[in-house]
Structure 1
């Protein structure tokens, strides 16, 4: 080493003094020490910067890989019973809302519709007949009123005849003592008076009968009017009831064609041609993959600062880290998975060990991203929630 240093300095080993060698060693040690100090300082700065970043930014994120894709699946069930005529879809097939899924035999529904149409026409005819009957009853009431007027006039005539016969009888009775009136004439006068009394009684009876007939006609008119007053033939209750049965028969005929209630993917198809299905029997399920969401199960210790509306970034095991989904926290489940289980855990025993619970958090996904990279329910996801306050995010976006 001394030879090399002496060559560098242009001196021979004999020409280099021990003091010079010591000075060179000290200089090299000082340089190495300075280099170590610079390296250590740089590491300290990096560590400090990382620590500050973690303190400011790192604590605002909570993540979990215990997350799964879910959706509000639509279970398809027939609303009318009947044999299956045709099945138009298969499992894994993509359908749109309104597409035909299953067709039932419409024969019985068509017969029921024809019967309902006949009942409706009959009800309408009967109501119109009732309206016409009301017109006829009104005429009858008028006729009975005319009968009463005629009978009243007859009573008046009979009363006048009776008065005249009474006067004639009294005059003859007063002349009997003078011999001016014969017994035969007196008898005739008496008979005329009695006949006038009978005619008056008959006229009065006829008037009473006419009045009773008018009362009957009035009652019949009122009863008939109660069936049609305030309505038209089309709005009569009987007609409306028949029309409701007709509308139901039409709907039942339409329901023999089962259509997709939502757009999605057909799954769990369990219906075959010729099978007789009952009302409410599940025939298939449609998964609306375009409306999928994520249920992320976070530890209870992670949820102190999680709020609805906070942004969420997600990745799926299906596409990997190359595809990133963006969503929002929608809400929290009403209870943990264990508490909502069919058989909840019972911890009221001496052998109890505390287990960190997880609470499902629902995350809504961007429909455009779902359209570009579709997901299926049950797929695993990794979710990271940004718990930073909205004001900080807005300020950062403005900057």
Structure 2
């Protein structure tokens, strides 16, 4: 009798222990589900920065290159130069054109003044003709001065300088290459434009507001970055909707999946602090956790 009671007790304890472990496991799974579904955190983040494509304002052969790939440059720093021989010649021609226009204007003004003094002797038509010639010469002088200004600008723009503080990347420019005006020949990563794009599920947007503090962990880095939310994307693409050809009406595909995945919405995170020794490389993977995310692991928030 005692043996049966002991076996019954042991069996009952095992059942109770099993049920207790099942309840604890269920609670842990529920907390984890709540955390990853509603807590403002994401492992789907990317470090981003603005890339600045640089092109010469004037066409010509690249005369000198004074930077290298991966070099950190300051705003206004010289990057490369275009051959200035033709540009200096164009400026000299513009100066000569001004001198010619000035001489022509002086001659035309003398003629106009002379004919104006001969009123009653020469016809009004002759006086108007000389006056028009003087005005035309004055316009040509203005045009020549404008051409000289353009020639000076082109000569100055032969020296291509950095428009931002940045980092030279994927650099292959070499002296002797012909650069066309407006065609990018190199790129800079704006070092002042780094930010984190966090792709949060739409179920978490209720907890995301401008100014919320963010903790950022880059993959492979032990130290954390700090930042804050500066904005949430206003729109994302709807892959199930298009415009029907010829009707301009919405063409919504009649599809439905039993498992409805939450849409991911881009959230921009400004970086406030970068620990010493951490290298910012655009494209690195980041985990973003906003203040308040850990509260969703507390039982009172889920029961």
CA distance in 1, matches of 2:164, 2:50: 10
1:318–1:350 CA distance, 2 compared to 1 (3 A): closer
Tell me the equivalent position of 2:18.
none
> Per-residue CA shift, 1:248-307, capped at 9, x if unaligned?
111111122111111111002122121112122221111012321111111111113423
Specify the SS of the correspondent of 2:184.
coil
Q: Which residue of 1 aligns with 2:57?
A: 79
Task: From 257, 271, 293, give the equivalent of 2:173.
Answer: 271
| Deviation string, structure 1 residues 303-323 (Cα, Å, up to 9, x no partner) | 134233333232222532x33
Secondary structure of the equivalent of 2:40?
strand
CA contact (8 A) 1:61 1:386 kept: no
1:246 equivalenced with 2:148 (yes/no): yes
Q: How many angstroms apart in 2 are the aligned matches of 1:352 and 1:227?
A: 82
Contact 2:38 / 2:204 at 8 angstroms: preserved in 1? no
> TM-score with structure 2 length normalisation?
0.71
1:237 partnered with 2:143: no
**Contact 1:69 / 1:294 at 8 angstroms: preserved in 2?**
yes
- Contact conserved, 2:37 with 2:203, CA < 8 A, in 1? no
Are residue 130 (structure 1) and residue 75 (structure 2) matched? no
Taking the aligned partners of 2:58 and 2:163, their CA distance within structure 1 comes to 16
Assess if the C-alpha contact under 8 Å between 1:294 and 1:365 holds in 2: yes
Residue 335 (structure 1) aligns with: 236
| In 1: Cα distance, 2:64 partner to 2:134 partner | 47
Match of 2:281 in 1: 376
Alignment of 1:55-204 (within 5 A): 61-141=39-119, 145=120
What count of residue pairs does the alignment treat as equivalent?
A: 251
Does the 8 Å CA contact 2:82/2:158 hold for their aligned counterparts? yes
- Identify unmatched segments of 5+ residues in structure 1: 1-46, 146-212, 340-345, 389-399
RMSD of Structure 2 on Structure 1 (CA): 3.4
User: C-alpha displacement at 1:351, in angstroms?
Assistant: 7.0
Matching residue within 280, 284, 290 for 1:385? 290
Displacement of 1:227:
5.9
Q: 1:333 to 1:319 in 2, by over 3 A?
A: farther
Cα pair 2:199 2:266 within 8 Å, conserved: yes
Q: 1:113 to 1:302 in 2, by over 3 A?
A: same
SS at match of 1:262: coil
Q: After alignment, is 72-81 or 117-126 more displaced?
A: 117-126
